[in-house]
Chains A and B, each alone.
Chain A
């Protein structure tokens, strides 16, 4: 079993994880982290089959959990998780990445048909399509301040789109830069994340930090294996991928620490910053195993939740 996606609830006390059988399991973090936790509290409080195919992407809004499978998106209300609120279907083979653009209240979806679809969250109507990638899209990110959407795909290009005009503003072909490129792994981009003027992208090429104003790579991280997800956290970069560890890196390009974890290859990393309760501020990682590792202190693995 592989865990492909994770998402925390808006209150921060629950974790939803999606696997390759199309099931979504909801874990109660507050009971798993409480002092009198038993083995039972490390299993899901609720599991349900959401889609027929793998659940590649999960995203939480203030009241709903959005899950994406093969060509359909379902919205589940966090309050009553069994009730499927509004499914909508697209004619695309699979949806790999979903993110929300809060300024416009729209859902940005990228998937197997090489295009990015933008859907309005309130009405469920598809507003526009961004075309330009020549191969399927792996990851998406939104820069709210500038109103831009970034997408990375199998064709090795990171495209920056303006969400109002729907035009591709920039196209960075990461594999063409010598310092980043790793031809032995390919040119695909599987992880993309942004924070103000900085962007992290990686996959086939090495994980690299880019300055978006000057469109130049500033640091390359010497991580072996392809990185599947990376996040900025305080002054560090957390990244997971093909190794059996979570890598902590500094912005300058050095790898500070590599924390071992259970799954052999990791697919998803999620940080619970939603709640103010310090007990549930955890990092969870999931990958090619039925266990999801939970880190309360970033330096070591505390325990594992079983799917």
Chain B
């Protein structure tokens, strides 16, 4: 333990006294001159000058001590300043890291969004190729109406056809009856069977079909 502290002391003294003609030498000179002055046998003026000289060196020592103390204070404050700057920079680094990871997440999100948008666009292109739904509906409606009209016309035409058919049928059947009655008139010229012929006429008229004669 003693050896360690001695080394430290020697190291410190060597460090401090780095500028050669330093304070250590001054203190040694002061001590030597003090002892010399105490043991001096010279005149009082010499003793007084020596005393003044010693006060001068003492003042010099005090001055350098004050200077080193101020330098020490300054170093301490510089250290504090640097510590502060160091912590600031560390905080900035961590916040920059956070921002970077945030931005990376943002990029991922943006890429997903872009992908979705592109998918929509691609689908929209395909959809555009097909005709508009409203137009198709309108076309369908128009076609429906046409269809209805045409079916109406068809119905009307069919009804007319039916009517004409029946009318023709009645006409033909009455002609046939007339033929028959004329033939029966011719055959029954000899024996006058008016009642039977007229009854045949009437019966014949009303047995063919249900239509009354037009």
Contact = CB atoms under 8 A, between A and B. Distances in A.
A234 B122 contact: no
B111 A235 contact: yes
B125 interface: yes
B111 A251 contact: no
B111 A198 contact: no
Contact of B123 (A211, A235, A250, A253): A211
Interface string B112-135: 101100110111011000000000
Contacts of B125: 218-219
Interface string A210-247: 01001011110000000000000011000000000000
Interface residues of B, number: 12
A132 interface: no
Q: DSSP majority for the A interface?
A: strand
Given A235-B112, A235-B115, A209 B126 contact: no
A252 B118 contact: yes
B111 A219 contact: no
Size class of the A contact interface (CB-based, 8 Å):
10 to 19
A235 B111 CA distance: 6
B126 A251 contact: no
A277 B108 CA distance: 17
A112 B118 CA distance: 37
A235 B118 contact: yes
A250 B114 CA distance: 10
Contacts of A234: 108, 111-112, 115
A163 B55 CA distance: 109
Contacts of A198: 119
A251 B118 contact: yes
Contacts of A250: 118
B126 A211 contact: yes
Contacts of B119: 198, 251
Interface in B51-90: none
B115 A216 contact: no
A197 to B, nearest CB: 8
B116 to A, nearest CB: 9
Nearest to A217: B126
Contacts of B111: 234-235
Nearest to A213: B123
Contacts of B126: 211, 214, 216-218
A239 to B, nearest CB: 16
A252 B118 CA distance: 6
A174 to B, nearest CB: 16
B122 A219 contact: yes
B133 to A, nearest CB: 15
A209 B125 CA distance: 12
A211 B125 CA distance: 12
- Which of B108, B112, B115 gathers most chain A CB within 10 Å? B115
A74 B114 CA distance: 41
Contacts of A214: 123, 126
Contacts of A219: 122, 125
Nearest to B110: A235
Contacts of A216: 126
Interface of A: 198, 209, 211, 214, 216-219, 234-235, 250-253
Interface of B: 108, 111-112, 114-115, 118-119, 121-123, 125-126
Given A218-B122, A219-B125, A235-B114, 6 more contacts: A211-B122, A211-B126, A214-B123, A218-B126, A235-B115, A251-B118
8 contacts: A211-B126, A214-B126, A234-B112, A235-B112, A250-B118, A251-B115, A252-B122, A253-B122
